[in-house]
A and B are shown apart, each in its own frame.
Chain A
Amino acid sequence: MSKNAKARRKTTWPALLCALASLRFLLLLPFFAAPAARAADTLYLYTWNNYISAETVQRFEAHCRCRLKQDYYSDNEEMLAKLDAGASGYDLLVPTGNAVEALIRRGALRPLDHAQLPHLGNLKAEFMNSWFDQGNRYSIPYAYSITLLGYNIEKLRELGLPTDTWALIFEPEYLAKLKGKVTVLNSQRELMAAAMKYLGYSVREKDPAKWEQAKRLILRAKPYWATFSNSTYIKDLAIGNIWVAHGYSNDMFRAQQDALAAGRPFTVGFSTPKEGAVLALDNFVLHKSGKRPDLAHRFIDFMLDGENAADVSNLIGAGNPNGAATPRIKPEIAGNPAIFPTAQEVGRLEMLRDFDAKSRRILSRMWTEIKVR
């Protein structure tokens, strides 16, 4: 062999070895791209934190002789963003109405087979056929909550403050007595909605000028607020660090129970402001990437049974769209208008609906301003 060819052969070797080494490792990678092996009879649920009690889960697992695995999100946006990132394999999701609409329009859901849901009749008529899913082709309502004000009853009585109006967190004359003891939700939609309701507008109002008004209202009140919080207010209210909190009715229920259990010298109360508030109706839906629609249907039907449905009210303090559950709900919860609004109050409640991309962008920039100014 010529000298050049020999030299060539000898240089190729180390380079080739390097290439082979990297190749060997790269070949391993596809095995990780494949989804992990899944247990045969497992139902995958992607849901809110603390939305299904452990007892209910155990009863279901015994009933179907299968396993239920839950992953959690703390708001709809987080869930949608994760699904956007390609999360797959969840059989059931529990989105709020506006997120159901988004999922349906994206074609992300599997239609329901009503034949597999014999207990469907248990649901109250006013919660069926919602604006986001006529005919309930994709969703079954599970629970609802109202975004309202929670407060330290004794403290507010002592300060002579009203508890039934948004003015409590927006008017400086009231806030002056509450400085540093108020928290609001760290949620763009929810806080703006509260301000809009206080100003007498609909939460679905798209006029940026009205949003500006709401923004100014919020910025005027902001210096008096302790912070924006989505979850720590539960503990703070129950301990007594905070006297007024803007939050979800089921979280307020928990704070109330916690304060009672800890034997605090005060009580936590919560009520829907008279100007109106946001109602969030959460629903079971089937994601099309789920592997066990049969188990998913069984779960939904299980949760439609009166006794199981009652759990979400009794244990979590959420509103219940299930008529068969009503006799099994504790009277003090069933009679609480902040959890189960009267027909008259329902008229003042509105559900959030997603805006178009352009409006969303304006709203998000407004939210940035609210946080930064």
Chain B
Amino acid sequence: MIRLGATGERLAKWLISLPPTLFLLVFFVVPSLIVVLASFRYPGEFGGLASLLPLGGEASGLTLSTYRFFFSDYVYFEIFLKSFLVAALTTLICIVMAYPLAWLIARSPKKRRDLLVLLVILPFASNFLIRVYAWIIILGPFNLLYTSFAVIVGMVYVHLPFMVLPLYTNLEKHDPVLLEAAQDLGANAWTRFWKITFPLSLPGIFSGSVLVFIPVLGMFAIPELLGGVGDILIGNLIKEQFLDNRDWPLGAMLSIMLTIAVLALAGLSAWAGKGKGRMA
């Protein structure tokens, strides 16, 4: 790019990197560490966090009691499990729905392709709550509102574009020559798809899945607005601790559990991505 003298280079490097780094350090890294710390504190007598220093009256200092509480009963595990299942189901449905669309876009001539992509993104332009509200209107008269079905529909609806885009990006790069060759060798349409297209598209499916799975894990608005009383996911639990129960240590602990789950998934996808690597 621009060639500078050695010291000028270093100075510019610092000046350019410092402001965003500092900002994110203060407003992202530090708060995250505070969450970790909060999970080890006692809950305040009236909500919030108890003080770190002994003030007399209430428990203070650090403790593992919140973690022990979490592991002492399995209802919270059930909710984590349910959240993973909902995320998995949503991802699966998104893959099935997105595939034909992504293929169509990938195989279309360039000009039409941009239009088709834009048409996929435009609903995403509407506010996420509006997209949920639309389903409240539609499902209400059918008595399907406040059910698990409604939650899944809402989740799929909100996250579908995230599956279409990486998938079509991947499919676009497939060399049509491969399919032609297979056809010449006598393979039928299904075999061609299953043995050639699908395996080559796996990295795209993977990227899309990560983009759907992780946000779904943390959602609370969709279960709250579309789901019934029992449709609680991790996000709802966390929100409840902070805004209803005022049990901040438990909320912090649940957030940490969610973070670990997400990091594990991200790590898994990065490792798998490296393995398969070519056409991500």
Contacts and interface: CB of A to CB of B under 8 A. Distances in A.
The answer to whether A and B touch in the complex, with CB atoms under 8 Å apart, is yes
Interface in A343-373: 354, 356-357, 360-361, 364-365, 368-369, 371-373
A354 B247 CA distance: 14
A368 B240 CA distance: 10
A241 to B, nearest CB: 12
B114 interface: no
Contact of A371 (B15, B146, B230): B230
B47 A22 contact: no
A365 B75 contact: yes
Contacts of B8: 4, 7-8, 10-12
Given A7-B5, A7-B8, A15 B16 contact: yes
A227 B8 CA distance: 68
Interface in B1-60: 2, 4-9, 11-12, 15-16, 19, 42-48, 50, 58
Given A15-B15, A369-B75, 4 more contacts: A360-B43, A361-B247, A368-B75, A371-B232
Contact of B5 (A8, A18, A84, A360): A8
Across the A-B interface, the 7 shortest Cβ-Cβ residue pairs: A15-B15, A7-B5, A11-B8, A11-B12, A8-B8, A357-B43, A7-B8
Nearest to B248: A84
B76 A368 contact: yes
Interface string A285-318: 0000000000000000000000000000000000
Nearest to B78: A372
Interface in A215-268: 227-228
20 contacts: A7-B5, A10-B8, A11-B4, A11-B8, A11-B11, A11-B12, A16-B15, A18-B15, A81-B243, A106-B46, A227-B146, A227-B229, A354-B46, A361-B43, A361-B245, A364-B247, A368-B79, A371-B229, A371-B232, A373-B230
Contact of A102 (B12, B43, B46, B75): B46
Given A186-B229, A361-B69, A77 B5 contact: no
Instruction: Pick from B42, B146, B245 the residue with the most CB of A within 10 Å.
Output: B245
Interface in B193-223: none
Contacts of A186: 229
A4 B5 CA distance: 6
A22 B19 contact: yes
A228 B46 CA distance: 26
Contacts of A65: none
Interface residues of A, number: 35
A15 B16 CA distance: 6
A38 interface: no
Interface of A: 3-4, 7-8, 10-12, 15-16, 18-19, 22, 77-78, 80-81, 84, 102, 105-106, 186, 227-228, 354, 356-357, 360-361, 364-365, 368-369, 371-373
Contacts of A12: 8, 11-12, 15
B246 interface: yes
Contacts of A369: 75
Given A361-B69, A371-B229, A8 B11 contact: yes
A366 B42 CA distance: 20
B11 A77 contact: no
Contacts of A356: 45
B232 A368 contact: yes
Contact of B7 (A4, A16, A84): A4
Instruction: Pick from A11, A12, A228 the residue with the most CB of B within 10 Å.
Output: A11
B47 to A, nearest CB: 6
